[in-house]
Chains A and B, each alone.
Chain A
């Protein structure tokens, strides 16, 4: 077992995530190699870009079959969290189906632009080691146009014209809709908690 591996799903902007782990004194390698990912102590599934592109790349690298079988802690971030669900409206694609439910597009309204972009608090918090030390006053940086409705695996929702899943967990799979690597001290706390899982 070797350290933390960030899955290279082909999107840009993996550096900010690597730097965030670096600031916590932990090295994280970027890899698309199935053996390296399977052997990692912890796995991060990031994602910038669209669900349909990310799934195509995961399938192409034989990772779509591997990821649901992983037993070490896995953290999906933003699009990476959405990929844990059964399907996404973004490109009408099947996803990893680790969590039940579908990801839908957010609808813009007069006082609620889309993307949901900016700092927001979690509406309520379930006790979980990933959220240790995270209180209702903590703000996180969100930027997304698609979202999952709260379900049985939602640890904390965020309010944006209604409740959306902000933190989810099923067994060893966690997902956060916000960007912990860009969420100042509260985000660092979540990443630190993840490193301790």
Chain B
């Protein structure tokens, strides 16, 4: 989401408009998506919160869970989004700046509402968490090791971890299975793979080889490269249980 429209970039840069939020939300609902995640990528970098008018509109038509991410910096921010009808909120940059936010959100709403998104990239020091990834000019390494951050986020009350592997984002060469597998071993809450899906076998590999609980993708669905019903049939044929 940027300025009320759905956009998608490549490796978190060069975003282009892919469609209208309500049109896409209803299309994915009808195609059998199990959950939708809305990232407001302009939110954190510009120092403001999500524009919430669309959350209610989306909540009215969606009968599947959805998560809202972007600029949630306080319990009050989260409450407004949840009250508008979202199922979960996801925190990323603000949680890196103030990890106590995870504790506060989890105490107030329960761990099941609190997703911690981690934008991870391989550096000379290993996998590091990045901040402000919505704006290439402001993106910076947070100084945190991803595995340590995964453990800390869970200890503070995260109910789900979404691992965005930045190096593979938007390039459709597959999820970073090795990194996901490493994080899986440290993660006892649901783990969602994100970044890199380009073909059906990439999803199969994420479930089978990395043991993730869910796989998130954007480009391949926005561009019609993979249809959700076709993907689900293939996953079932591969012995992975999914809702039809």
Residues of chain A whose beta carbon lies under 8 Å from any beta carbon of chain B: 11-16, 19-20, 22-23, 48-50, 79, 108, 111, 113-115, 117-119, 137, 139, 141, 143-145, 179, 181-185, 187-188
**Closest chain B CB from A175 CB (angstroms):** 17
A-B contacts besides A49-B109, A117-B112, A183-B63, 5 pairs, CB < 8 Å: A13-B87, A113-B191, A114-B189, A141-B64, A143-B112
The answer to whether A13 touches B82 (Cβ under 8 A) is yes
> Which partner residue on chain B sits nearest A112 by CB separation?
B188
When the two chains form the complex, which single residue of B63, B65, B86 contacts A23, counting CB atoms closer than 8 Å?
Answer: B63
Chain A residue contacts of B189, Cβ below 8 A: 108, 113-115
Chain B residue contacts of A182, Cβ below 8 A: 63-65, 87
Could you count the A-B residue pairs with CB atoms below 8 Å apart for me: how many are there?
97
**Closest chain B CB from A116 CB (angstroms):** 9
**Closest chain A CB from B96 CB (angstroms):** 23
CA distance A40 to B28 in the complex (A): 36
- Known contacts: A19-B59, A188-B63. The answer to whether A117 contacts B213 by CB under 8 A is yes
Nearest 9 A/B pairs, CB to CB: A12-B82, A15-B85, A139-B243, A108-B188, A119-B243, A143-B112, A16-B85, A182-B65, A115-B112
The answer to whether B60 touches A48 (Cβ under 8 A) is no
Chain B residue contacts of A117, Cβ below 8 A: 112, 159-160, 190, 213
When the two chains form the complex, which single residue of B56, B63, B113 contacts A15, counting CB atoms closer than 8 Å?
Answer: B56
**Closest chain A CB from B4 CB (angstroms):** 20
The answer to whether A16 touches B112 (Cβ under 8 A) is no
Chain B residue contacts of A49, Cβ below 8 A: 108-110
The answer to whether B34 touches A119 (Cβ under 8 A) is yes
CA distance A119 to B109 in the complex (A): 21
Chain B residue contacts of A22, Cβ below 8 A: 60
> Which partner residue on chain A sits nearest B115 by CB separation?
A117
When the two chains form the complex, which single residue of A19, A118, A139, A185 contacts B60, counting CB atoms closer than 8 Å?
Answer: A19
Residues of chain B whose beta carbon lies under 8 Å from any beta carbon of chain A: 29, 34, 56, 59-60, 63-65, 79, 82-87, 108-113, 159-160, 187-191, 211, 213-214, 242-244
CA distance A111 to B185 in the complex (A): 10
When the two chains form the complex, which single residue of A20, A79, A115, A118 contacts B214, counting CB atoms closer than 8 Å?
Answer: A118
When the two chains form the complex, which single residue of B29, B59, B79 contacts A12, counting CB atoms closer than 8 Å?
Answer: B79
> Which partner residue on chain B sits nearest A139 by CB separation?
B243
CA distance A14 to B159 in the complex (A): 20
